[in-house]
Amino acid sequence: MWAHVGQPFAPARYDVLIVGAGRMGAALARFLRAARPDLSLLLAEEGGLPNEEGATILAPGVWHADVPPERREEAERTRVLLGDALTPCGLLDLQGQAGPATRPVSEVLGPDLLGWIDAGVLPHVRLDGRAGVYSAGQLTLGHAQTAIREGADLMLNVRAELHGHELNGHALDRPGSGGAARVALHRLSVTNTHQVVVDHTVNVTVARVVIAAGAPGPALAEAGLGIVTPHRAAYRQTPRLEVPSTSGTPVLRAEGLTLRPQSGGFTVVPPVPHPDPWGYVPTGGRLVGVPVGLRRETLDAVMRAMPGLSVLAGEGLVVGRSIADIPGAWLAVPAGDWPTWERLDDTHWLLLGGERADLTGLAVAEQLAQALAAT
C-alpha cells in the first residue's frame, strides 16, 4: 500500500488497474481478487479511502425492494452481498392515492411520525419490511481492506491519467490492437498553502484498466481515450433534517424525497433532477436576499414535498447559508439511471454506480469482476 509520495513506488506492470476506490471500484477489487487471485491488481485512488469528495461517503445507503422487474435479480443479489452490513429498519412509502399494498397511515404510523405528515395529503402508506440502511463508506473501506488482505495493491493520493494513443509523444498500442495500456499515475501532495500539486508521475503498463472514477469517469474516458459515452454527471445536495431519529426509525419516502435516519436526525435525499452540463461548478446564490448554497432544484424538490411532509416546513430543515454548509456530491449519472458497466475498447472498461448504486451497485461490480475474470 502506498499512501503518500514519500513511499517509493517501483512496480511497472499490472494485469489490472482499477481507477477509483469508491464503492464501485473497491467492491470490484474485492470480487476480482476472489475470482482471479492470479491477476496482479492495483487500486489507484485520487484521495483517501473513501474519498471525502466522492459520491460514496455521502451515499444515502438505503436498500429497498421497490425496483422494476428487470432490476429485481440485481437488487436481490446486492442485498445478499450487503449481508450483515445492512441494518433492517423498514421503509414507509407515503402516498396520496391508495395502491395494491397500501394501508391507511393512521394504522401504520405511530403518533410521532403521524405528527410529521399531513394525513389529508398523504393518507396511504406502503410498508417495505425488507428495506434497510448501511454505511456505504464503511462497506467500501471493508471491501478495499479485504482486497488488500487478499493480495491487491492500493495507491492513495494518486490521479490516474489515461492514454489511448500516445504518451509523451511515443506511440502506444492503439485501442483495438489487443495490446496493453499505459497509464500515468500522478502522485499528489499538498503544499503548505493547501494546494494539491503533482509531486511526480510514474507510468505503469496494464493489460486491463477499469475506470471506476465515479462522476469524472466518462470525462476521463473521453479526454484520455477519445471515447464518448452517453453518461453524465450531476451535483446532488442532501440537506439535513434535525428532528429526532433512532437506529430503529424507518426510512420515509414521499413525493420523490427519501428521508434517511442518520446521526440522530435525517438526511434528506432529493432525486437527481437532470445531468449537469460539462464544466458546471456549483456556486452559492441568494434566496430572499440571504446567501445560500442551495441549488434551485433541491429547493424545488423540498418545497414540492412540504404539503405532505409537513415536518419539512418546520424549524428542523437545515439548508445552510453558504455552499460549504450544504453537503453535496458529484454523482455519476449512467444513461438508464442504473449502475452499469461497459467495455470501451480492448483494454478499458467503465464502471458506474450513480444515484441507484445503493440498490444494485454491488451486483453490477460483481458482474464486471466475472466478465474480467473470463478475459
Binding site for ligand ADP (CB under 6 A): 19-25, 44-47, 51, 54-56, 159-160, 212-214, 216, 220, 332, 353, 357
Contacts of 202 (CB under 8 A, 6+ apart): 9, 184, 185, 187
- Helix/strand/coil (H/E/C) assignment for every residue in 99-144: CCCCEEHHHHCCHHHHCCCCCCCCCEEEEECCCEECCHHHHHHHHH
Alpha helix (H) residue ranges in the chain: 23-35, 72-82, 105-108, 111-114, 136-149, 217-225, 296-305, 357-373
Peptide bond into 175 cis (omega under 30): no
Distance CA 29, CA 41 (A): 8
Contacts of 229 (CB under 8 A, 6+ apart): 218, 221, 222, 335, 342, 344, 350
Distance CA 326, CA 244 (A): 20
Contact 94, 252 (CB under 8 A): yes
Distance CA 151, CA 230 (A): 35
Cα angle 188-277-353, degrees, rounded to a multiple of 5: 65
